[in-house]
Amino acid sequence: MGNGERMRRMKIPILMYHDICENSPSAMKGRSIHPSYFVSAETFRSQLQSISNLHLLAITLAELSKHHENIDNAKKVILSFDDGYVGNYLCAFPELKAQGMVATFFCAVSLIGKKNMMTWSNLKEMISEGMSVQSHGFSHRPLASLSKEEIYEDLKRSKTELEDNLGERVAYLSLPHGSFNRHVISAAKEIGYEKICTSLIGYNTGDEYLLRRILFRSDDNPQKYEKLITGRYNFLFPKFIEKMKTAIKNSIGHGNYLRLYHYFHKI
């Protein structure tokens, strides 16, 4: 089997998390995201153990590019975290270290140091232990709702401030709210982002510019998780829902969609 054919057969999952916290009312108090986006520290610990038991190799996005260039037989998974919640540092980071695993943390720069968010000191410590910190934009606004000039400034400022404060190269972008258009892609490429993590559902081979991810929710069960990380999950229905959501966003605008979402979920 040639390298090209092997790459087409590879299914590399990029898991998308938001906040990890202890499963208690006090730990969850004051959080501004939907409860299903929380994953308890106990559940996360069990998930990492599943990755280990299945002999999967947790890699960063930078290592994904190397994987594309140097094919090997090890099955891989990427753990990614959006927004920069402090639970990533307090709960996810210790569990990752205990398992000898790495992950990629996408931070919105304007939120760093705010209530319930990680600090620059947290991020530096995580980097020193092998974690990767990358861009989630500067303002955390839906990028497709901005002008071309605002998009460029937001993505450029995020990359520059992360690199200046952390002393590490920033080459990967996670889209705030999953929002993008051709102007976002064009600006990201011009600024120097090598890949973009979207909220589109599915697996990857490693050579895509727009990477698909898999959102794990608190109400998902261990059996589903195992299928997701081993490339055996059927995304037919989730992709149908994804198309419906996209149609609604295009019809009413991403900003209005978010307002309705927050209203109905009381967040």
Spatial CA neighbour of 57 closest among 116, 10, 25: 10
Whether residue 255 is found in the same domain as residue 222: no
Number of domains in the chain: 2
Place of tokens 């261990």: 222
- The torsion angle over the Cα atoms of residues 28, 20, 211 and 193, rounded to 10 degrees, is 90
- The torsion angle over the Cα atoms of residues 124, 151, 157 and 179, rounded to 10 degrees, is -10
Whether residue 128 is found in the same domain as residue 258: no
Whether residue 144 is found in the same domain as residue 250: no
What count of residues does the chain have?
Answer: 267
Whether residue 144 is found in the same domain as residue 32: yes
> What is the pLDDT, as a whole number, of residue 73?
53
Rounded distance, CA 15 to CA 101, Å? 14
Whether residue 137 is found in the same domain as residue 266: no
> What is the pLDDT, as a whole number, of residue 207?
80
Whether residue 259 is found in the same domain as residue 228: no
Which CATH number do you get for residue 188? 3.20.20.370
- The torsion angle over the Cα atoms of residues 138, 33, 47 and 15, rounded to 10 degrees, is -40
> What is the mean pLDDT for each group of 10 consecutive residues in the chain (267 residues)?
48 93 61 73 94 94 71 79 96 97 98 96 98 98 96 98 97 96 98 96 88 85 88 69 66 68 54
Whether residue 176 is found in the same domain as residue 253: no
- The pTM of the full predicted model, rounded to 2 decimals, is 0.84
Whether residue 255 is found in the same domain as residue 205: no
> What is the pLDDT, as a whole number, of residue 8?
46
Rounded distance, CA 233 to CA 185, Å? 28
Whether residue 172 is found in the same domain as residue 220: yes
Take residue 180 and report the two structure tokens written for it. Answer: 């993008």
- Domain of residue 259 covers 236-267
Whether residue 137 is found in the same domain as residue 78: yes
Check if the beta carbon of residue 101 is closer than 8 Å to that of residue 136: no
Whether residue 263 is found in the same domain as residue 176: no
> What is the pLDDT, as a whole number, of residue 3?
46
Whether residue 126 is found in the same domain as residue 213: yes
